[in-house]
Structure 1
Amino acid sequence: MTSQWWKDAVVYQVYPRSFADGNGDGIGDLAGILERLDYLQNLGINVLWLSPVYASPMKDNGYDISDYRAIAAEFGSMEEMQKLIKEADKRGISILMDLVVNHTSDQHAWFQESCSSRTSAKRNWYIWEDADETGAPPNNLRSIFGGSCWEWDENTGQYYFHSFAKEQPDLNWENDEVREAVYDMIRWWLDQGIAGFRVDAITFIKKPEVHKDQPADASDGTSVVKPNQPGINAFLKEMKEKGFQSEEVMTVAEAPGVAPEELPAFAGENGFFSMLIEFDHVDLDITPSGRWFESVGWTTADFRRAITRSQQKVNEGGWSALYLENHDQPRSLSRYIPEADQGTKTAKLLATVYFFLRGTPFIYQGQEIGMQNVTYASLSDYDDLSTIDQYHAARQEGLSESEAFAVVSRRSRDNARTPMQWSAEKNGGFSEGEPWLKSNTNTAVVNVEKAEKDTDSILHYYRSLVTIRRSEAWKDWLRDGIYEEVEQVHPDVFVYRRVYKEKALTVAANFSRHPVTVELPAPLEEKVAGNETGLHAEGTLLHLTPYEAVAATGPEGGK
């Protein structure tokens, strides 16, 4: 591998619990992933990102880890994990593990020892504080999942800090021993043969001032905990040097709170990570408080501006993970496209828009067949902690039951976690048992088996895009070509170019139900991809049908 091999990669994310069930118990597992490796190979991807499969009580579906060096029994065994690494490698696929080191499970041996007494050798491995003079928590910080960031421990008479669920106590990164233990674990996994890590919630490891209230952003006087606090850079630099160690290790940082202008420092030539997962383009509909019911309207122009801000910083030397979906986000078709217009053509439009940007493309399981948000009947159908907390927060702020339910249904993380739809069979071919989460009701219409038989399907289109990204003819252009936005009068049109060696690859997308004509800096010559037949261009004019997207080459021309 070259030191920056990941710039030419295409990543596929698997949420193991929902991907494929190999033993029929209704829960996806490593055996199921092993059975589907040929499918992933045929898709053309060369990196497989696994959401957590470590030992865990599963309060947050594996993001609460009780043993970093063991596999959860419901997913399989360490032997199966090692087999997966080897079998994937035979198919030219590298494995990324999900690295969760802002917090552990409260069942982790480290925390069990920490909470055993105030004099425990590991007491300072977590963040403990006395109550204030009234017996209340040390400050007004609210966790990401709702409620105070501070949980009272009766045994030792102190509060411990958690940015997420109370079952996920935050590690104390100010402690040298904690950091060394984390780095040792990172090196151990690299020795197992994985290619690197997606690094979860890493910008939360530096905490705000413990004894100081923050400006309230909710009616109850609380303030949501904010990531990317001053001083975090020293921790990230040390983790790179002592943990990851090599530039060949692929590191993908989930980095909420990092502004586009910080991208080169975090993921530039000498940055802390290979690339960042950014949020501006997927958080268009919520306020900084993170409360789903405080939704705001957004337009195609807002989406375009968010993408352009990031891409301009990539031009300056950063690198970005290109994505529309993951396990924490609603389905992209349901997010970006009106319900009546969701289908093959609009799914291909979205794919075209993001696949030719500068960065490393990520595909989330089911995205390649056009999976959509699920419609559940009641809150009891949901498993996601965040969904349940957001519902109750909405009710406390005065929304009716139906209003609160509509809000969380639209944005629930469970929209992305419904079982993968392999066929029209029972449970979409995911499992012979009762799935841990109800399947979507559209499995007969949207599934892999059906998509394979239709050469015009979303799946075949994604396959063609992956082939382009990884081909020798295109990879230099798509890795090094400069991003330029082409401003348009029409508010629902997004046009950009990737300029490379006096040539330009133009991507144009019409996010509206009406035909539009756009003017380009230079004529188009050869179509590369698109969701319509032909290339409808006359000189520097390009005619787009409703929801048409096209990528085509031509001379660089003017700007």
Structure 2
Amino acid sequence: MTVKPTAFPQDVRDHPWWRRGIVYQVYPWSFQDSNGDGMGDLPGILARLDHLERLGIDAVWLSPVYPSPMKDFGYDISDYCGVDPRFGTLADLDRLIAELHGRGMKLIMDFVPNHTSDQHPWFEESASSRTNPKADWYIWHDPAPDGGPPNNWRSMFGGIGWEWCEARGQYYYHAFLKEQCDLNWRNPAVVAAMHDMLRFWLARGVDGFRVDVIWHLLKDPGFRDNPPNPDWTPDEPEVRHILQIMTCDQPGILDLVKGFRKVLDEFPDKVLIGELYLSVERLCAYYGDALDGAHLPFNFHLLMDPWTAETVGGLIRDYEAALPPGAWPNWVLGNHDNGRVASRFGAPQARVAAMFLLTARGTPTIFQGDEIGLANGVIPPDRVRDPQEKNEPGLPGHNRDIARTPMQWDAGPKAGFTTGEPWLPLVPGHKVCNVAAQEADPGSMLNLHRRLIALRRSHPALAVGDVRVLAARGDLLAYERRAGDEAFVVVLNLGHGPIEAEIAEAVGGRIVISCKGGRKGESVGSRLLLDGDDGVIVARP
């Protein structure tokens, strides 16, 4: 029997769902296989919705399930208005939308507008000649005087970013694989066609979109070279040898974001999320001056910045100061492109990170498997699937497969994910690290997530309240969340050794949750002792 999540109080329900709620990313290749072919699918996701409902999440962000040759696992789309047979059918996706809505949850689709597959009909037509109706739908350019590529623009996956097309006698630009051809977003016909694609899905009941590499959409119209990066070191990917000034975050890009927002605003209660690996100041620009851009430009700094109290405390302050008036923040700890939290921070500290994510001011995003503390996969050379790793092997943290391994549901031979051979290997130790084992353990990572989410949903201060940093020194991070007369103090030890904290705002309060358990109801005096890799939430008197 499904356990219903804690209901939001009325004053929290008055806020938009994407402000008060929690987003959970499903990577469809790896969530649940229903037919034994070793890769996940839509019927598999439908079969596991009880887990998501019991966890207490509010929206599923679904990575791409569109028809695709799968050169980049669905991010090379050949039809924006369908479902790849590997994952199921359009009817399966309609059922997923209906079932999520019936359980009080939303569906956010991935929108991949920067590029299409080279097998998309648009590109096949565009590549056929210089005079066809879609000739200007992609980024084409004549060769340099020596016959080589037009400039030094690189691919994010290694190598030069230009590919020769014999039929046109020109090069086309690809920011990623050569099979992922960049669209020309300066062409109004491209903009109109993509807006219609958004409307197709919104009319089917999709609740919003996460926009892939949104800061890549416009390139320098003069095709100028990117300048060299003076800080590049040989242990970094080759693409970072140059600064992506002419190919990313270009002037005018916010107009495109505002265009997406206008389409979403034609439908009630939708959300626009943007993928942005940018500074705090630059990502905040994507909200728009009048909050007419993205509702939630992704904040990935917990993926990029050091996990130290001083850094995280400073980030909270800087982020809050940079937000446009009325804008709502968000936090991300893990996703399908980065190593797992439990491996980046260590398993004990991952519990502290979860407490931060689920008590921070702003919408949290949880990547599938992080709720059970899933670690990085171990991928033998003959099992590597990631094209980025194949193009630039050996760079630290460069293999995205390590975060994309199958979800681990039970202690069975295939972890309950499939009856066949998993498309990527299971993480070692799956007989211990799985949902079923953690269900039975009150102190598990899974049950810590459930308690944190239930507490967040029950209290306006944690769901939608303000934040104030109280301490960020050494290994100690403390902050207050407040809404009206309700307040909580969150005290976190980001180190491995014990610390003693003096947090005046916590004195007289009572601990409601601790990372390690066993302290519920404890009264807080003038000094608060924390073990290494621990954290507490204190209800203020």
TM-score, normalised by the number of residues in structure 1: 0.87
1:505 aligns with 2:488: yes
1:324 aligns with 2:324: no
Residues 51/267 of structure 1: CA separation in 2 closer, same or farther (3 Å cut): farther
Residues 389/319 of structure 1: CA separation in 2 closer, same or farther (3 Å cut): farther
Amino acid aligned to 2:164: W
Where do 1:393-408 residues align within 5 Å? Answer: 404=394, 407-408=395-396
- Whole-Å separation in 2 of the counterparts to 1:174 and 1:486: 47
Q: 1:381 aligns with which of 380, 383, 388?
A: 383
Aligned to 1:92: 104
Query: Alpha-carbon deviation of 1:243?
Result: 4.8
Query: Alpha-carbon deviation of 1:353?
Result: 1.1
- Whole-Å separation in 1 of the counterparts to 2:422 and 2:135: 40
1:514 aligns with 2:497: yes
Aligned to 1:542: 528
Query: Alpha-carbon deviation of 1:314?
Result: 4.6
Aligned to 1:484: 468
Query: Alpha-carbon deviation of 1:208?
Result: 2.7
Residues 309/381 of structure 1: CA separation in 2 closer, same or farther (3 Å cut): farther
- Whole-Å separation in 1 of the counterparts to 2:282 and 2:155: 26
Q: Identity over the aligned pairs, expressed in percent?
A: 39
Contact residue 329 and residue 416 of structure 1 kept, 8 A: yes
- Whole-Å separation in 1 of the counterparts to 2:514 and 2:285: 31
Amino acid aligned to 1:548: D
Amino acid aligned to 1:95: L
- Structure 1: 4+ residue segments shifted above 6 A: none
Aligned to 1:204: 216
Q: 1:529 aligns with which of 494, 513, 538?
A: 513
Q: 2:244 aligns with which of 204, 216, 225?
A: 225
Residues 210/59 of structure 1: CA separation in 2 closer, same or farther (3 Å cut): farther
Contact residue 284 and residue 324 of structure 2 kept, 8 A: no
Residues 92/247 of structure 1: CA separation in 2 closer, same or farther (3 Å cut): closer
Amino acid aligned to 2:372: I
Q: 2:94 aligns with which of 69, 72, 82?
A: 82
Q: Deviations over 1:57-106 (max 9, x none)?
A: 11111011100111011000111111111112111121111011111111
Where do 1:118-517 residues align within 5 Å? Answer: 118-217=130-229, 223-226=242-245, 227-246=248-267, 248-257=269-278, 259-260=280-281, 263=284, 266=287, 270-284=291-305, 299-314=308-323, 316-337=325-346, 342=347, 345-378=348-381, 380-391=382-393, 404=394, 407-408=395-396, 410-471=397-458, 474=459, 476-489=460-473, 491-517=474-500
Amino acid aligned to 2:407: M
Contact residue 275 and residue 297 of structure 2 kept, 8 A: yes
Q: Deviations over 1:340-393 (max 9, x none)?
A: xx2xx4332111111111111211111111100122343x322112222332xx
Amino acid aligned to 1:229: Q
Contact residue 273 and residue 294 of structure 2 kept, 8 A: yes
- Whole-Å separation in 1 of the counterparts to 2:525 and 2:170: 72
3-state SS of paired residue (2:198) = helix
- Whole-Å separation in 1 of the counterparts to 2:398 and 2:111: 24
Residues 268/484 of structure 1: CA separation in 2 closer, same or farther (3 Å cut): farther
Structure 1, unmatched stretches of 5+, are 286-297, 392-403
Query: Alpha-carbon deviation of 1:242?
Result: 3.4
- Whole-Å separation in 2 of the counterparts to 1:90 and 1:503: 32
Contact residue 236 and residue 272 of structure 1 kept, 8 A: yes
Residues 265/327 of structure 1: CA separation in 2 closer, same or farther (3 Å cut): closer
- Whole-Å separation in 1 of the counterparts to 2:282 and 2:162: 32
Contact residue 25 and residue 368 of structure 2 kept, 8 A: yes
Q: Deviations over 1:495-525 (max 9, x none)?
A: 2222332553211111222111112142251
Residues 259/118 of structure 1: CA separation in 2 closer, same or farther (3 Å cut): same
Residues 497/2 of structure 1: CA separation in 2 closer, same or farther (3 Å cut): closer
Residues 74/232 of structure 1: CA separation in 2 closer, same or farther (3 Å cut): same
- Whole-Å separation in 2 of the counterparts to 1:73 and 1:488: 50
Amino acid aligned to 2:376: N
Residues 533/314 of structure 1: CA separation in 2 closer, same or farther (3 Å cut): farther
Contact residue 144 and residue 225 of structure 1 kept, 8 A: no
Amino acid aligned to 2:518: T
3-state SS of paired residue (1:478) = helix
3-state SS of paired residue (2:303) = coil
3-state SS of paired residue (1:160) = strand
CA RMSD of aligned residues (A): 2.3
Amino acid aligned to 1:501: G
Query: Alpha-carbon deviation of 1:2?
Result: 6.3
Aligned to 1:397: none
- Whole-Å separation in 2 of the counterparts to 1:237 and 1:332: 33
Aligned to 2:4: none
- Whole-Å separation in 1 of the counterparts to 2:407 and 2:289: 35
- Farther-moved stretch of structure 1 (354-363 vs 54-63): 354-363
Contact residue 95 and residue 196 of structure 1 kept, 8 A: yes
- Whole-Å separation in 2 of the counterparts to 1:205 and 1:456: 45
Residues 546/420 of structure 1: CA separation in 2 closer, same or farther (3 Å cut): same
Amino acid aligned to 1:134: D
Contact residue 126 and residue 171 of structure 1 kept, 8 A: yes
- Whole-Å separation in 2 of the counterparts to 1:77 and 1:444: 33
- Whole-Å separation in 1 of the counterparts to 2:289 and 2:349: 33
Amino acid aligned to 1:84: L
Aligned pair count reads: 517
Structure 2, unmatched stretches of 5+, are 1-12
Residues 2/539 of structure 1: CA separation in 2 closer, same or farther (3 Å cut): closer
Contact residue 267 and residue 274 of structure 1 kept, 8 A: no
Amino acid aligned to 1:495: A
Q: Deviations over 1:470-491 (max 9, x none)?
A: 22xx1x32344222212344x2
3-state SS of paired residue (1:486) = strand
3-state SS of paired residue (1:435) = coil
Amino acid aligned to 1:364: F
Contact residue 54 and residue 62 of structure 1 kept, 8 A: yes
Residues 469/264 of structure 1: CA separation in 2 closer, same or farther (3 Å cut): farther
Residues 488/71 of structure 1: CA separation in 2 closer, same or farther (3 Å cut): closer
Query: Alpha-carbon deviation of 1:412?
Result: 2.5
3-state SS of paired residue (1:173) = coil
- Whole-Å separation in 1 of the counterparts to 2:33 and 2:508: 47
